Structure 1
Amino acid sequence: MKVEAPKTYFQDIPDIKYEGLESDNPLAFRWYDENKVVAGKTLRDHFKFACAYWHSFNDTGADPFGESTHQFPWNEYKFSIDRARAKADAAFEFITKLHLPYYCFHDMDVVDYTSDVADNDKRLQTLTSHLKQKQQDTGAKLLWGTANLFSNKRYMNGAATNPDFLVLAHGAAQVKAALDATIELGGENYVFWGGREGYMSLLNTNMKREKEHLARFLHTAKDYARRNGFKGTFFIEPKPAEPSKHQYDYDVETVVGFLRQYDLIGDFKINIEVNHATLAGHTFTHELQAAADHGVLGSIDANRGDYQNGWDTDQFPNNINEITEAMLIFLEAGGLQGGGVNFDAKIRRNSTDPQDLFYAHIGAMDTFARALIIADEILQNSEYKKFRQERYASFNSGKGKQFEEGILKLEDLRQYAIDNGEPEVRSGRQEWLENLINRYI
């Protein structure tokens, strides 16, 4: 007997609106007024907030020690296409109620895959048509698409870096279909995350050859997309390890070096995930600054880790200090290049009510909005920028400027040290800066 889909999946949840700081309504925004203009742009345009299709509508709450705790009503459908359509209906109802302008997906998030390449293509094409209609009905857009080249057992040794060419070819077939779907849906970007593009042991790995294969794979995918009308940006999403022991897209600096070495820098930028930054031993702000300095700050997967857990816990962001410092870099860099802020985060295993997913997104969106407003006030009204500029004032003129321009030789630097004696000690005033940020918060 066929199960009839409910007309709505979140019928008890109201339309989520901005109500301001006086509101105690947990299902309302206190800071995120999408039409508020900050630093010349609306909050909606600054962030381009996106829902992560995989975590929000596929994560069951299961972990290595326990079964699923999130029971999705669309899973009552036995036929995969019916189930996938119902899941899409639920996703767009959620996106619409939250006024999210964008969403993101992996191909296998959208519809179940088999081991048959042609059948998988048909499944994705069928759902692409459904998603396109949902986009037209709601106005939501696709921020980026991607292919899951890490879950299937064939990818246990990587996809583009696999020692078996047939596995690489399967990965290419999947990317082709995901690119076709992204283009058909008007996706603004496309992401590559090398979840298993790395190694578990160097004893059985030709690292040089694998990275060359990865570069060739990316060129081949990029060329196909460009030939077929894709005008957007390609993103690489760094992560140092997990599930592999070492992944080739370790962090921003590593990825930038790779892109430059293999002549990919013109088409590719970075999608920075907060929890991946901390796993690499960096802060979120470090990775943002590195990307901004190289001109490749493309997009953000927003989440956080747990200080007591050494793995990728993908929790929703709520640290106002961390995000405020990040927004200082965000604003000074002129924002993101092509991408947006995708909540690559999942509610906790024991968060089992439908409204929990709304609470998580509302809190995260409010945190980013509040942080951006604070960061703009700091940049406009405090001594923050002036102090940072003055700290490097010795390079603005005279010998310091000549050094930056490449005029001075090593002997000139030695003579300058002799002529000017011991430098005076100058405080970095870190505590003062931290207090300044807290004062504006």
Structure 2
Amino acid sequence: MLKMRIFVDNTVGEKILETDNRNKFTKLFCELEHFSTDEQRQKIEEMNELMEEMGKEEFKSVFTKEWFNEMDKIIEEKILSWENAILLLKHVGYYNAVKCIYDHAFSESFLSDRFQKMIIEEEEKKEEKNESLLVDLCECFSLLYFYFISDELISICVHCLLKIASKKEENEEVQKKVEIALLALSGICGDDPIEQELYLNEIKEIIKYQQKHRNLTHLAYQSAWSFLFPQLFYDDSLEDTIMSELHFGREAARELEELTKCVNWKKKEKEMSKEEAKEELALMRWLETLGFIFFNCQLRNEEITKLIGCIVQVFRAAKDNHKEISDKCIYSLRNSTENRFVKVEDLLKGGAVDAVLEEFHQQTLNKDLEYECFQFFTNVSNRLKEEEKDEKEEAKRKATKMEIFEKLEEEGFEDIVISIHDIFNNRNRQIFTLLIMIVLHLILKA
């Protein structure tokens, strides 16, 4: 008899009902040994639907190291057929990735060791290699594993997954397979750079084909970029490929615009359809990617204002009902001020200054967001100092400086500080006001 603990949320005042998703899922899991292979498959489909409805914390409370160890045990004892185990684990991995759950539970489990061993053994077979099984193993492993993996496993998984991701048929079944393969690729991370020969031509072809034919889902396309970006840490030469050859700035702006139109922002997150929730997730991942890009890459000047404007557009659409999205927009805008290739003029034209001021007015602004807003204007001051001061640019710089200062003065930073909802005590409030006055002074004197 399978013995699995029933997971409960111990939050004060919260009472978990018997019909809770976690308890339903755990009950179904415990009962799997009593069903035939076909019946198990039906139960797993029910479990997959429950996974989709779980929030992040709910999901993490179910899929613990102990759960993955239990999965390893029932696979070893042949209680669950291997085909059904893959069906269940691939869905766990998919939702683990799309919900952005960065957890070590699988990585530290016996099941992770089993997968690594099986991937290598299957790859080393000289004859009768099961390519379909190898794909399943690589997808499950890459979707769930959250540690650096060995060069040997990277080589096997990247090669295997890129073959699936490169399929160009536009029917729904192939699209889903491509999406999962790209999502799995986006989670692959190693201690050392991946050799360009292993991936670069293929991922460039996937991105370029998408730009011409629009054959990928939004999530799949974002995942293709996410696989490429981490290699910038190891190989600066990729920056020109990403920015100039593949036109990241243009593509990111277009994707943000399209995704903003796909979501009904009047609905709360829990009220959205499955498709809307998926598009919102892709939007969230793009914003996280932009934070990385602003810190690490040059953006072409003609693309910056457009991209800033698209982030502002998302911020305004999301700020009433989708706080996590709007917060990420503010983080991205602050990150943009860290990039010396982003001019203050770009921030003004794109509406970033107005958006950050709007956020600063919020009654429920938390300390983290207050810091981001303050840092935004501190960085603006630094940008003004660093920008060219030759005779041709001086007049423009002064005009930009005065426009920024007037916006701050019109909005009334003193009023903004007073309106903050009791987050700072009196002493901290005085310090915060002093810091704002310093920023205003720096902007005026820049």
**Structure possessing the higher radius of gyration over alpha carbons:** 2
Same fold (TM over 0.5): no
Per the normalisation by structure 1, the TM-score is: 0.35
More helix by share: 2
Larger RCO of the pair (alpha carbons < 8 Å, separation 6+)? 1
Per the normalisation by structure 2, the TM-score is: 0.35
